[in-house]
Structure 1
Protein backbone atom coordinates (compact mmCIF):
# COMPACT_ATOMS: atom_id res chain seq x y z
CA UNK A 1 0.00 0.00 0.00
CA UNK A 2 1.38 3.41 -0.89
CA UNK A 3 2.19 5.72 1.99
CA UNK A 4 0.42 9.06 2.05
CA UNK A 5 3.28 10.88 3.83
CA UNK A 6 6.60 9.19 3.10
CA UNK A 7 9.50 10.10 5.39
CA UNK A 8 11.95 10.40 2.53
CA UNK A 9 11.82 10.55 -1.23
CA UNK A 10 13.78 8.83 -3.92
CA UNK A 11 15.55 12.10 -4.70
CA UNK A 12 17.18 12.03 -1.25
CA UNK A 13 18.93 8.82 -2.26
CA UNK A 14 19.94 9.96 -5.73
CA UNK A 15 23.77 9.61 -5.78
CA UNK A 16 24.21 12.50 -8.23
CA UNK A 17 22.16 14.85 -6.06
CA UNK A 18 23.87 13.67 -2.86
CA UNK A 19 27.31 14.36 -4.32
CA UNK A 20 26.21 17.78 -5.59
CA UNK A 21 24.75 18.72 -2.18
CA UNK A 22 27.88 17.51 -0.39
CA UNK A 23 30.14 19.46 -2.76
CA UNK A 24 28.12 22.64 -2.25
CA UNK A 25 28.21 22.23 1.54
CA UNK A 26 31.96 21.55 1.43
CA UNK A 27 32.73 24.66 -0.61
CA UNK A 28 30.48 26.72 1.67
CA UNK A 29 32.30 25.64 4.83
CA UNK A 30 35.73 26.04 3.26
CA UNK A 31 34.75 29.61 2.40
CA UNK A 32 33.41 30.27 5.91
CA UNK A 33 36.53 28.94 7.60
CA UNK A 34 38.81 30.79 5.19
CA UNK A 35 37.01 34.05 6.03
CA UNK A 36 37.22 33.44 9.79
CA UNK A 37 40.93 32.60 9.61
CA UNK A 38 41.57 35.71 7.50
CA UNK A 39 39.74 37.83 10.07
CA UNK A 40 41.81 36.20 12.79
CA UNK A 41 45.01 37.07 10.93
CA UNK A 42 43.97 40.73 10.72
CA UNK A 43 42.89 40.63 14.36
CA UNK A 44 46.22 39.14 15.44
CA UNK A 45 48.23 41.70 13.45
CA UNK A 46 46.23 44.46 15.16
CA UNK A 47 46.92 43.03 18.64
CA UNK A 48 43.31 41.75 18.81
CA UNK A 49 41.87 45.23 18.67
CA UNK A 50 39.09 43.94 16.42
CA UNK A 51 37.93 41.67 19.22
CA UNK A 52 37.93 44.50 21.75
CA UNK A 53 36.04 46.83 19.41
CA UNK A 54 33.54 44.40 17.88
CA UNK A 55 33.06 41.90 20.69
CA UNK A 56 29.99 41.87 22.92
CA UNK A 57 30.04 43.67 26.28
CA UNK A 58 27.13 42.37 28.38
CA UNK A 59 24.42 44.86 29.32
CA UNK A 60 26.13 47.59 27.26
CA UNK A 61 23.48 48.89 24.87
CA UNK A 62 26.06 50.57 22.64
CA UNK A 63 27.63 47.14 21.99
CA UNK A 64 24.38 45.40 21.18
CA UNK A 65 24.90 45.62 17.38
CA UNK A 66 28.10 43.60 17.84
CA UNK A 67 26.07 40.42 18.34
CA UNK A 68 26.40 39.84 14.58
CA UNK A 69 30.20 40.32 14.53
CA UNK A 70 31.36 38.68 17.76
CA UNK A 71 30.95 35.06 16.54
CA UNK A 72 33.55 35.63 13.83
CA UNK A 73 36.25 36.93 16.20
CA UNK A 74 38.59 34.94 18.45
CA UNK A 75 41.03 35.89 21.20
CA UNK A 76 43.98 33.74 20.11
CA UNK A 77 44.96 31.03 17.66
CA UNK A 78 44.24 28.24 20.15
CA UNK A 79 40.72 29.60 20.59
CA UNK A 80 40.17 29.57 16.83
CA UNK A 81 41.68 26.09 16.40
CA UNK A 82 39.42 24.65 19.10
CA UNK A 83 36.34 25.99 17.31
CA UNK A 84 37.38 25.24 13.72
CA UNK A 85 36.97 21.44 13.81
CA UNK A 86 33.42 21.28 15.20
CA UNK A 87 32.46 24.38 13.21
CA UNK A 88 33.43 22.64 9.99
CA UNK A 89 31.78 19.28 10.79
CA UNK A 90 28.51 20.63 12.19
CA UNK A 91 28.40 23.45 9.66
CA UNK A 92 28.88 21.00 6.78
CA UNK A 93 25.96 18.91 7.98
CA UNK A 94 23.84 22.03 8.46
CA UNK A 95 24.68 23.33 4.97
CA UNK A 96 24.01 19.99 3.29
CA UNK A 97 20.30 20.72 2.84
CA UNK A 98 20.77 24.13 1.24
CA UNK A 99 23.05 27.16 1.42
CA UNK A 100 20.18 29.66 1.75
CA UNK A 101 18.85 27.84 4.80
CA UNK A 102 22.38 27.67 6.16
CA UNK A 103 22.94 31.41 5.84
CA UNK A 104 19.61 32.20 7.46
CA UNK A 105 20.35 29.72 10.23
CA UNK A 106 23.79 31.22 10.84
CA UNK A 107 22.30 34.70 11.27
CA UNK A 108 19.69 33.31 13.65
CA UNK A 109 22.36 31.56 15.74
CA UNK A 110 24.53 34.66 15.91
CA UNK A 111 21.55 36.58 17.26
CA UNK A 112 20.37 33.99 19.79
CA UNK A 113 23.81 33.03 21.13
CA UNK A 114 25.25 36.52 21.47
CA UNK A 115 22.02 38.09 22.69
CA UNK A 116 21.81 35.47 25.45
CA UNK A 117 25.44 36.20 26.34
CA UNK A 118 24.72 39.93 26.33
CA UNK A 119 21.97 39.38 28.90
CA UNK A 120 23.54 36.79 31.22
CA UNK A 121 27.34 37.11 30.99
CA UNK A 122 29.16 39.15 33.65
CA UNK A 123 29.35 42.90 32.92
CA UNK A 124 32.63 44.59 31.99
CA UNK A 125 33.79 41.56 30.01
CA UNK A 126 34.17 41.23 26.25
CA UNK A 127 32.82 38.12 24.56
CA UNK A 128 33.72 36.71 21.16
CA UNK A 129 33.98 33.34 19.45
CA UNK A 130 32.06 30.93 17.24
CA UNK A 131 31.28 28.32 19.89
CA UNK A 132 27.69 29.54 20.31
CA UNK A 133 27.12 29.10 16.57
CA UNK A 134 28.70 25.64 16.78
CA UNK A 135 26.19 24.64 19.45
CA UNK A 136 23.43 25.99 17.23
CA UNK A 137 24.50 23.89 14.25
CA UNK A 138 24.61 20.89 16.58
CA UNK A 139 21.05 21.41 17.82
CA UNK A 140 19.80 22.06 14.30
CA UNK A 141 21.26 18.88 12.82
CA UNK A 142 20.08 16.72 15.73
CA UNK A 143 16.45 17.87 15.41
CA UNK A 144 16.13 18.60 11.68
CA UNK A 145 15.45 15.05 10.51
CA UNK A 146 12.68 14.49 13.05
CA UNK A 147 10.83 17.66 12.04
CA UNK A 148 11.29 17.05 8.31
CA UNK A 149 10.44 13.36 8.75
CA UNK A 150 13.54 12.46 6.79
CA UNK A 151 15.03 9.08 7.67
CA UNK A 152 18.58 9.90 6.58
CA UNK A 153 18.73 13.19 8.49
CA UNK A 154 17.16 11.53 11.53
CA UNK A 155 19.86 8.85 11.59
CA UNK A 156 22.57 11.49 11.20
CA UNK A 157 21.04 13.46 14.07
CA UNK A 158 20.89 10.40 16.33
CA UNK A 159 24.54 9.53 15.68
CA UNK A 160 25.64 13.13 16.13
CA UNK A 161 23.62 13.56 19.31
CA UNK A 162 24.98 10.34 20.83
CA UNK A 163 28.57 11.20 19.90
CA UNK A 164 28.63 14.80 21.15
CA UNK A 165 26.01 14.84 23.91
CA UNK A 166 28.77 15.61 26.42
CA UNK A 167 29.10 19.09 24.89
CA UNK A 168 25.74 20.12 26.29
CA UNK A 169 27.22 20.26 29.80
CA UNK A 170 29.16 23.41 28.87
CA UNK A 171 25.81 25.12 28.25
CA UNK A 172 25.10 24.93 32.00
CA UNK A 173 26.13 27.68 34.44
CA UNK A 174 29.37 27.12 36.35
CA UNK A 175 30.44 23.94 34.56
CA UNK A 176 33.20 25.52 32.44
CA UNK A 177 34.70 28.64 34.09
CA UNK A 178 35.94 31.27 31.68
CA UNK A 179 33.61 30.05 28.93
CA UNK A 180 30.29 31.70 28.15
CA UNK A 181 27.70 29.08 29.04
CA UNK A 182 25.03 31.62 28.03
CA UNK A 183 26.34 31.82 24.45
CA UNK A 184 26.34 28.03 24.24
CA UNK A 185 22.84 27.75 25.63
CA UNK A 186 21.51 30.52 23.40
CA UNK A 187 23.08 28.94 20.35
CA UNK A 188 21.65 25.52 21.21
CA UNK A 189 18.16 26.94 21.67
CA UNK A 190 18.52 28.86 18.41
CA UNK A 191 19.53 25.68 16.58
CA UNK A 192 16.54 23.74 17.89
CA UNK A 193 14.26 26.62 16.91
CA UNK A 194 15.98 26.84 13.52
CA UNK A 195 15.10 23.22 12.77
CA UNK A 196 11.44 24.29 12.91
CA UNK A 197 11.83 27.71 11.30
CA UNK A 198 13.82 26.34 8.35
CA UNK A 199 11.91 23.07 8.07
CA UNK A 200 11.16 21.58 4.68
CA UNK A 201 7.94 23.18 3.46
CA UNK A 202 7.83 21.42 0.10
CA UNK A 203 4.55 19.54 -0.48
CA UNK A 204 4.88 15.83 0.08
CA UNK A 205 4.14 13.43 -2.79
CA UNK A 206 0.48 12.43 -2.93
CA UNK A 207 -0.55 8.81 -2.51
CA UNK A 208 -1.05 6.66 -5.60
CA UNK A 209 -4.59 7.30 -6.87
CA UNK A 210 -6.93 4.55 -5.72
CA UNK A 211 -4.34 2.89 -3.46
CA UNK A 212 -6.04 3.76 -0.17
CA UNK A 213 -9.50 3.18 -1.60
CA UNK A 214 -8.53 -0.25 -2.83
CA UNK A 215 -7.03 -1.26 0.49
CA UNK A 216 -10.11 -0.14 2.42
CA UNK A 217 -12.54 -1.73 -0.01
CA UNK A 218 -10.59 -4.96 0.08
CA UNK A 219 -11.28 -5.40 3.80
CA UNK A 220 -15.07 -5.53 3.31
CA UNK A 221 -15.65 -6.62 -0.28
CA UNK A 222 -16.74 -10.19 -0.93
CA UNK A 223 -14.32 -12.42 -2.83
CA UNK A 224 -15.15 -12.71 -6.50
CA UNK A 225 -14.38 -15.37 -9.05
CA UNK A 226 -11.59 -14.47 -11.42
CA UNK A 227 -12.82 -14.70 -15.00
CA UNK A 228 -10.49 -14.85 -17.97
CA UNK A 229 -11.38 -14.69 -21.62
CA UNK A 230 -9.55 -16.25 -24.48
CA UNK A 231 -8.04 -13.56 -26.70
CA UNK A 232 -9.36 -13.41 -30.20
CA UNK A 233 -7.92 -12.12 -33.39
CA UNK A 234 -10.35 -9.22 -33.34
CA UNK A 235 -9.18 -8.02 -29.97
CA UNK A 236 -6.84 -5.11 -30.76
CA UNK A 237 -5.50 -5.10 -27.18
CA UNK A 238 -4.29 -8.70 -27.38
CA UNK A 239 -0.49 -8.94 -27.56
CA UNK A 240 -0.87 -11.97 -29.88
CA UNK A 241 -3.46 -10.44 -32.18
CA UNK A 242 -1.31 -10.74 -35.31
CA UNK A 243 -0.44 -14.37 -34.66
CA UNK A 244 -4.07 -15.31 -33.92
CA UNK A 245 -5.20 -13.63 -37.11
CA UNK A 246 -2.76 -15.69 -39.17
CA UNK A 247 -3.90 -18.90 -37.48
CA UNK A 248 -7.50 -17.93 -38.12
CA UNK A 249 -6.76 -17.31 -41.78
CA UNK A 250 -5.26 -20.78 -42.00
CA UNK A 251 -8.37 -22.28 -40.46
CA UNK A 252 -6.59 -23.20 -37.24
Structure 2
Protein backbone atom coordinates (compact mmCIF):
# COMPACT_ATOMS: atom_id res chain seq x y z
CA UNK A 1 0.00 0.00 0.00
CA UNK A 2 1.37 3.44 -0.97
CA UNK A 3 0.39 6.62 0.85
CA UNK A 4 -0.33 8.44 -2.42
CA UNK A 5 -3.93 7.24 -2.03
CA UNK A 6 -4.40 10.27 0.23
CA UNK A 7 -4.65 13.37 -1.91
CA UNK A 8 -5.65 16.85 -0.83
CA UNK A 9 -8.16 18.27 -3.27
CA UNK A 10 -10.52 21.23 -3.31
CA UNK A 11 -13.33 18.87 -2.29
CA UNK A 12 -11.68 18.27 1.09
CA UNK A 13 -12.51 21.88 1.98
CA UNK A 14 -15.34 22.54 -0.45
CA UNK A 15 -17.69 19.68 0.46
CA UNK A 16 -17.88 20.32 4.23
CA UNK A 17 -17.90 24.09 3.77
CA UNK A 18 -20.73 24.01 1.20
CA UNK A 19 -22.77 21.55 3.26
CA UNK A 20 -22.51 23.59 6.47
CA UNK A 21 -23.12 26.91 4.70
CA UNK A 22 -26.27 25.44 3.20
CA UNK A 23 -27.49 24.50 6.69
CA UNK A 24 -26.95 28.07 7.84
CA UNK A 25 -28.66 29.41 4.71
CA UNK A 26 -31.76 27.30 5.42
CA UNK A 27 -31.83 28.55 9.00
CA UNK A 28 -31.43 32.15 7.79
CA UNK A 29 -34.35 31.65 5.40
CA UNK A 30 -36.48 30.40 8.26
CA UNK A 31 -35.63 33.39 10.48
CA UNK A 32 -35.69 36.02 7.75
CA UNK A 33 -39.05 35.11 6.22
CA UNK A 34 -40.73 33.57 9.27
CA UNK A 35 -40.95 30.04 7.92
CA UNK A 36 -41.52 27.08 10.20
CA UNK A 37 -39.63 24.14 8.74
CA UNK A 38 -40.04 21.93 11.82
CA UNK A 39 -43.10 20.30 10.30
CA UNK A 40 -40.94 19.15 7.41
CA UNK A 41 -38.97 16.91 9.74
CA UNK A 42 -39.40 13.18 10.25
CA UNK A 43 -42.70 12.24 11.83
CA UNK A 44 -42.46 8.51 12.51
CA UNK A 45 -44.81 6.03 10.89
CA UNK A 46 -46.81 8.57 8.90
CA UNK A 47 -46.78 9.00 5.15
CA UNK A 48 -46.29 12.77 5.35
CA UNK A 49 -43.45 12.24 7.79
CA UNK A 50 -41.40 10.46 5.13
CA UNK A 51 -40.47 13.81 3.60
CA UNK A 52 -38.31 14.40 6.65
CA UNK A 53 -36.02 11.53 5.62
CA UNK A 54 -34.55 13.90 3.04
CA UNK A 55 -35.32 17.30 4.58
CA UNK A 56 -34.71 16.88 8.31
CA UNK A 57 -30.88 17.03 8.18
CA UNK A 58 -31.14 20.61 6.92
CA UNK A 59 -33.58 21.84 9.57
CA UNK A 60 -32.54 23.05 13.04
CA UNK A 61 -34.51 24.39 15.94
CA UNK A 62 -32.16 27.19 17.10
CA UNK A 63 -28.64 28.58 16.79
CA UNK A 64 -27.25 26.35 19.51
CA UNK A 65 -28.60 23.27 17.77
CA UNK A 66 -27.18 24.42 14.44
CA UNK A 67 -23.77 25.32 15.89
CA UNK A 68 -23.41 22.00 17.72
CA UNK A 69 -23.93 20.14 14.46
CA UNK A 70 -21.90 22.48 12.24
CA UNK A 71 -18.53 22.07 13.95
CA UNK A 72 -18.45 18.23 13.91
CA UNK A 73 -19.68 18.21 10.32
CA UNK A 74 -16.84 20.44 9.17
CA UNK A 75 -14.24 18.14 10.74
CA UNK A 76 -15.82 14.79 9.90
CA UNK A 77 -16.78 15.62 6.31
CA UNK A 78 -13.25 16.90 5.64
CA UNK A 79 -11.76 13.70 7.11
CA UNK A 80 -14.18 11.57 5.09
CA UNK A 81 -13.36 13.38 1.85
CA UNK A 82 -9.59 13.17 2.41
CA UNK A 83 -9.26 9.57 3.59
CA UNK A 84 -12.28 7.99 1.87
CA UNK A 85 -12.73 10.11 -1.24
CA UNK A 86 -14.12 7.23 -3.35
CA UNK A 87 -16.78 6.37 -0.79
CA UNK A 88 -17.56 9.84 0.58
CA UNK A 89 -20.62 10.84 -1.45
CA UNK A 90 -22.17 7.38 -1.16
CA UNK A 91 -21.68 7.41 2.61
CA UNK A 92 -23.27 10.87 2.89
CA UNK A 93 -26.20 10.03 0.61
CA UNK A 94 -27.00 6.57 1.95
CA UNK A 95 -26.24 7.75 5.48
CA UNK A 96 -28.95 10.40 5.28
CA UNK A 97 -31.38 8.00 3.58
CA UNK A 98 -31.10 4.92 5.80
CA UNK A 99 -30.65 6.76 9.09
CA UNK A 100 -33.78 8.77 8.23
CA UNK A 101 -35.79 5.66 7.38
CA UNK A 102 -34.68 3.94 10.58
CA UNK A 103 -35.62 7.02 12.60
CA UNK A 104 -39.03 7.01 10.89
CA UNK A 105 -39.50 3.40 12.00
CA UNK A 106 -38.35 3.58 15.64
CA UNK A 107 -38.84 7.25 16.57
CA UNK A 108 -41.29 8.73 19.04
CA UNK A 109 -44.41 10.42 17.71
CA UNK A 110 -42.82 13.82 17.33
CA UNK A 111 -40.93 15.80 14.70
CA UNK A 112 -37.27 14.79 14.42
CA UNK A 113 -34.99 17.41 12.87
CA UNK A 114 -31.28 18.19 12.65
CA UNK A 115 -28.09 16.88 11.05
CA UNK A 116 -26.98 15.02 14.17
CA UNK A 117 -28.03 11.73 12.57
CA UNK A 118 -25.46 12.34 9.82
CA UNK A 119 -22.85 13.23 12.45
CA UNK A 120 -23.38 9.82 14.05
CA UNK A 121 -23.16 8.14 10.64
CA UNK A 122 -19.77 9.75 10.02
CA UNK A 123 -18.41 9.00 13.49
CA UNK A 124 -19.39 5.34 13.25
CA UNK A 125 -18.21 4.90 9.66
CA UNK A 126 -14.80 6.54 10.12
CA UNK A 127 -14.12 4.71 13.39
CA UNK A 128 -15.10 1.20 12.31
CA UNK A 129 -13.74 1.53 8.77
CA UNK A 130 -10.32 2.46 10.11
CA UNK A 131 -10.29 -0.48 12.52
CA UNK A 132 -11.41 -2.90 9.81
CA UNK A 133 -8.80 -1.67 7.33
CA UNK A 134 -5.96 -2.30 9.83
CA UNK A 135 -3.95 0.40 8.07
CA UNK A 136 -1.99 2.44 10.58
CA UNK A 137 -3.00 5.89 9.31
CA UNK A 138 -6.69 5.00 9.25
CA UNK A 139 -6.46 3.37 12.66
CA UNK A 140 -4.89 6.58 13.96
CA UNK A 141 -7.80 8.51 12.42
CA UNK A 142 -10.27 6.18 14.15
CA UNK A 143 -8.63 6.78 17.52
CA UNK A 144 -8.65 10.55 16.92
CA UNK A 145 -12.36 10.49 16.08
CA UNK A 146 -13.25 8.43 19.15
CA UNK A 147 -11.22 10.78 21.37
CA UNK A 148 -12.96 13.87 19.95
CA UNK A 149 -16.49 12.54 19.59
CA UNK A 150 -16.62 9.31 21.57
CA UNK A 151 -18.77 10.95 24.20
CA UNK A 152 -21.64 11.44 21.77
CA UNK A 153 -22.33 7.70 21.89
CA UNK A 154 -24.14 8.17 25.21
CA UNK A 155 -26.75 10.33 23.47
CA UNK A 156 -27.75 7.36 21.31
CA UNK A 157 -29.51 5.79 24.28
CA UNK A 158 -32.92 6.70 25.76
CA UNK A 159 -33.47 8.64 28.98
CA UNK A 160 -30.18 10.55 28.70
CA UNK A 161 -31.86 13.72 27.46
CA UNK A 162 -35.54 13.73 26.53
CA UNK A 163 -35.11 16.96 24.56
CA UNK A 164 -32.93 15.30 21.92
CA UNK A 165 -33.79 12.69 19.31
CA UNK A 166 -31.84 9.72 20.62
CA UNK A 167 -33.65 7.64 18.01
CA UNK A 168 -32.02 9.68 15.23
CA UNK A 169 -28.64 9.32 16.90
CA UNK A 170 -29.04 5.56 17.27
CA UNK A 171 -30.22 5.25 13.68
CA UNK A 172 -27.17 7.18 12.47
CA UNK A 173 -24.85 5.05 14.59
CA UNK A 174 -26.28 1.79 13.23
CA UNK A 175 -26.21 3.08 9.66
CA UNK A 176 -22.56 4.12 9.93
CA UNK A 177 -21.53 0.73 11.28
CA UNK A 178 -23.34 -1.09 8.47
CA UNK A 179 -21.83 1.16 5.80
CA UNK A 180 -18.33 0.53 7.17
CA UNK A 181 -18.82 -3.17 6.39
CA UNK A 182 -20.57 -2.63 3.06
CA UNK A 183 -18.02 -0.34 1.45
CA UNK A 184 -14.67 -2.06 0.94
CA UNK A 185 -11.35 -0.24 0.69
CA UNK A 186 -9.03 -2.65 -1.18
CA UNK A 187 -6.66 0.21 -1.98
CA UNK A 188 -5.61 0.24 1.68
CA UNK A 189 -4.98 -3.50 1.96
CA UNK A 190 -1.44 -4.82 2.24
CA UNK A 191 -0.15 -6.47 -0.98
CA UNK A 192 0.03 -10.26 -0.81
CA UNK A 193 3.66 -11.41 -0.56
CA UNK A 194 3.38 -14.98 0.69
CA UNK A 195 1.39 -18.02 -0.40
CA UNK A 196 -0.23 -18.38 3.03
CA UNK A 197 -1.79 -14.92 2.63
CA UNK A 198 -3.79 -16.00 -0.41
CA UNK A 199 -7.44 -16.95 -0.02
CA UNK A 200 -6.99 -20.31 -1.80
CA UNK A 201 -4.05 -21.39 0.39
CA UNK A 202 -4.29 -25.04 1.52
CA UNK A 203 -2.20 -26.22 4.46
CA UNK A 204 -2.51 -29.84 3.45
CA UNK A 205 -0.81 -29.18 0.10
CA UNK A 206 1.93 -26.92 1.44
CA UNK A 207 5.32 -28.70 1.76
CA UNK A 208 6.33 -26.74 4.83
CA UNK A 209 3.04 -27.30 6.70
CA UNK A 210 3.31 -31.02 5.97
CA UNK A 211 6.21 -31.13 8.43
CA UNK A 212 3.79 -30.51 11.33
CA UNK A 213 1.01 -32.67 12.69
CA UNK A 214 -2.41 -31.51 13.96
CA UNK A 215 -0.92 -30.58 17.34
CA UNK A 216 1.87 -28.49 15.81
CA UNK A 217 4.59 -31.07 16.48
CA UNK A 218 7.38 -31.41 13.95
CA UNK A 219 7.24 -34.54 11.82
CA UNK A 220 9.17 -35.74 8.78
CA UNK A 221 7.80 -35.57 5.30
CA UNK A 222 6.19 -38.72 3.87
CA UNK A 223 8.84 -41.06 2.50
CA UNK A 224 9.30 -41.04 -1.22
CA UNK A 225 8.60 -44.40 -2.86
CA UNK A 226 11.76 -46.38 -3.53
CA UNK A 227 12.95 -46.57 -7.10
CA UNK A 228 12.70 -49.95 -8.79
CA UNK A 229 15.75 -52.17 -8.24
CA UNK A 230 16.48 -52.48 -11.92
CA UNK A 231 16.75 -48.70 -12.20
CA UNK A 232 18.70 -48.23 -8.97
CA UNK A 233 21.62 -50.33 -10.26
CA UNK A 234 22.12 -48.08 -13.23
CA UNK A 235 24.99 -45.62 -13.06
CA UNK A 236 26.28 -42.82 -15.16
CA UNK A 237 28.71 -45.13 -17.04
CA UNK A 238 26.30 -47.94 -17.86
CA UNK A 239 23.86 -48.20 -20.71
CA UNK A 240 21.13 -50.53 -21.82
CA UNK A 241 22.34 -50.26 -25.41
CA UNK A 242 25.14 -52.53 -26.71
CA UNK A 243 28.30 -50.64 -27.65
CA UNK A 244 30.71 -52.08 -30.26
CA UNK A 245 34.29 -50.85 -30.48
CA UNK A 246 36.47 -51.07 -33.63
CA UNK A 247 40.29 -51.04 -33.29
CA UNK A 248 42.11 -49.17 -36.05
CA UNK A 249 45.81 -49.85 -36.60
CA UNK A 250 48.10 -46.82 -36.44
CA UNK A 251 49.90 -46.35 -39.76
CA UNK A 252 53.32 -44.80 -39.11
CA UNK A 253 54.26 -44.49 -42.79
CA UNK A 254 51.59 -41.91 -43.42
CA UNK A 255 53.04 -38.55 -44.38
CA UNK A 256 52.63 -35.87 -41.83
CA UNK A 257 51.61 -32.37 -42.89
CA UNK A 258 54.45 -29.94 -43.21
CA UNK A 259 54.34 -26.54 -41.67
Shift of 1:120: 2.6
Question: Is the 1:71–1:128 Cα contact (8 Å) retained in structure 2?
Answer: yes
Taking a change above 3 Å as real, the CA distance of residues 100 and 39 of structure 1, as seen in their structure-2 partners, is farther
The reply to whether residue 28 of structure 1 matches residue 15 of structure 2 is yes
Larger Rg: 1 or 2?
Answer: 2
Runs of 4+ with >6 A deviation: none
- 2:8 aligns to what SS in structure 1? helix
Shift of 1:24: 2.7
Task: Work out the CA distance in 2 between the residues paired with 1:163 and 1:44.
Answer: 31
Greater percentage in helix: 1
Shift of 1:174: 0.9
Q: 2:124 aligns with which of 115, 139, 162?
A: 139
Gaps of 5+ in 2: 199-207, 212-259
Q: CA RMSD in A?
A: 2.9
**What is residue 27 of structure 2 aligned with on the other side?**
40
Task: Work out the CA distance in 2 between the residues paired with 1:19 and 1:95.
Answer: 9
Taking a change above 3 Å as real, the CA distance of residues 28 and 99 of structure 1, as seen in their structure-2 partners, is farther
1:125-136 maps to which residues of 2 (within 5 A)? 125-136=110-121
TM-score by length of 2: 0.68
Task: Work out the CA distance in 2 between the residues paired with 1:118 and 1:62.
Answer: 11
Task: Work out the CA distance in 2 between the residues paired with 1:75 and 1:48.
Answer: 12
Structure 1, residues 185-229: CA drift from partner, whole Å, max 9, x if none? 1101111111122221448634389xx9xxx7xx9xxxxxxxxxx
Question: Is the 1:113–1:186 Cα contact (8 Å) retained in structure 2?
Answer: yes
- 1:69 aligns to what SS in structure 2? helix
TM-score by length of 1: 0.70
Task: Work out the CA distance in 2 between the residues paired with 1:113 and 1:122.
Answer: 15
Task: Work out the CA distance in 1 between the residues paired with 2:31 and 2:21.
Answer: 15
Q: Which has the higher contact order (CA 8 A, sep 6+)?
A: 1
- 1:185 aligns to what SS in structure 2? helix
Task: Work out the CA distance in 2 between the residues paired with 1:81 and 1:163.
Answer: 16
- 2:87 aligns to what SS in structure 1? helix
1:213-232 maps to which residues of 2 (within 5 A)? none
